[in-house]
Structure 1
Amino acid sequence: MDDDLISFAPEAEDGARLRAAFGRFGTGVTVITTQTETGPLGMTANSFSSVSLDPPLVLWSAALRSKRHDAFARAQHFCIHILGEDQGPLALHFAGQGHDFSGFDWHPGPDGAPTLSGVLATFHCDTHAVHPAGDHSIILGRIRHAAQRRGDGAGLLFDRGRFGTFAPQSGQ
């Protein structure tokens, strides 16, 4: 056994230790958007993952405790935005609240979901399935339209509660 590891059996009342262990897995950062009856809605998520190329499927997870969960679980369409290294303020904004799109350049996408400008990539999806998964819902989307920014651009990363990016390799 590795003496540097802190071992524990996850219990419901020990969520902080489990969250800290999960936080050791650095991820990319996304903002998910949809159009609701009351207007555009956004949510920051780092639970995004590609699933399949044929058919083109992606997934992300929404916490049941989120006030935005039900709107996304019911949405027919949504857009996933892959954020660039300079878009930490955008991620923080939509982590805190989701109805205020003022100050952000956006337009309706092909299915009506808000499309934020300046991101690295977008995936406009139809909701393919929503699966209960503990204290989250797994939302599976079928990509109907995708786009990516021309040229290089580092993605915004989230690791142990902090935003960051990869350092450029020497010679780049």
Structure 2
Amino acid sequence: MHTRSPRAAKRDFDSRHFRNALSQFATGITVITTTLADGTFLGLTASSFNSVSLDPPLVLWSLGNVASSMPAFTGNSHYVVNVLSENQAHLAEQFASRKKNRFDGVEFSLSRTGHPILNGVSAWFECHNRSRYPEGDHVIFVGEVEHCEFTHQAPLIFHAGQFLPPSGKPA
């Protein structure tokens, strides 16, 4: 008979080991964008993106508790999840940087609610900021998809610490 423990067992690994194990799972790369009340655009790179439900259409992503952009994403009603295409590793790096204006030189259009949709992405999802769940050192955002589009461009993939196009060779 299997008994359930009320708590997780004591870990036998450190954060670096855990991160290395997670890096073995290939993920797509997204840039989450929104617009601040003063009209300033904000965007960040995130690989923590998943579907949650088809009906209603829900997706999730997560953001570190210490991220300077946390107030903007918790306070805004909408955001756009941009799924980068295989030739957009430079955008993943640009939106992951500490650069003040990450939109410098980036071509985009605006969603129906006025948030940036990056040009050339494989897909995008305009989301209502439905709910947030604090867990560990991150907040999980659940967005209800109001509009979405996709192309047949191959996605950018991140695996073992590097960007890979679908061919499996480093970008």
When the two structures are superposed, what TM-score results if normalisation uses the length of structure 1?
A: 0.86
* CA drift at 1:72: 1.2
Structure 2 match to 1:75? 76
Provide the C-alpha distance between the structure 1 equivalents of 2:130 and 2:12, rounded to a whole number of angstroms.
31
State the one-letter code of the partner of 2:76.
A
Letter in 2 for 1:106: F
Choose the corresponding residue for 2:124, options 122, 125, 135: 122
**Counterpart Cα distance in 1 of 2:49 and 2:122:** 14
CA distance in 2 between counterparts of 1:77 and 1:55 reads 16
Partner of 2:5: none
Alpha carbons of 1:23 and 1:107: their partners in 2 closer, same or farther (altered >3 Å)?
same
Separation in structure 2 between the aligned mates of residue 63 and residue 160 of structure 1, nearest angstrom: 20
- The count of corresponding residues between Structure 1 and Structure 2 is 157
Runs of 4+ residues over 6 Å off in structure 1: none
Question: Is 1:42–1:99's contact at 8 Å kept on the other side of the alignment?
Answer: no
Measure how far apart 1:45 and its partner are.
0.3
1:10, distance to aligned residue in structure 2 (A): 5.0
User: Aligned equivalents of 1:107 and 1:166: distance in 2?
Assistant: 26
Residue aligned with 1:70, SS: helix
Map 1:25-36 → 2, pairs under 5 A: 25-36=25-36
Post-superposition offset of 1:156 = 0.3
Q: Which residue does 2:167 correspond to in 1?
A: 167
Query: 1:79, 1:114 within 8 Å by CA — same for their partners in 2?
Result: yes
Long gaps (5+) in structure 1: 1-7
2:155 is matched with which residue? 155
Counterpart AA for 2:27: T
Q: Tell me the percent identity.
A: 39
Matches of 1:10 and 1:25, distance apart in 2: 20
SS in 1 for 2:141: strand
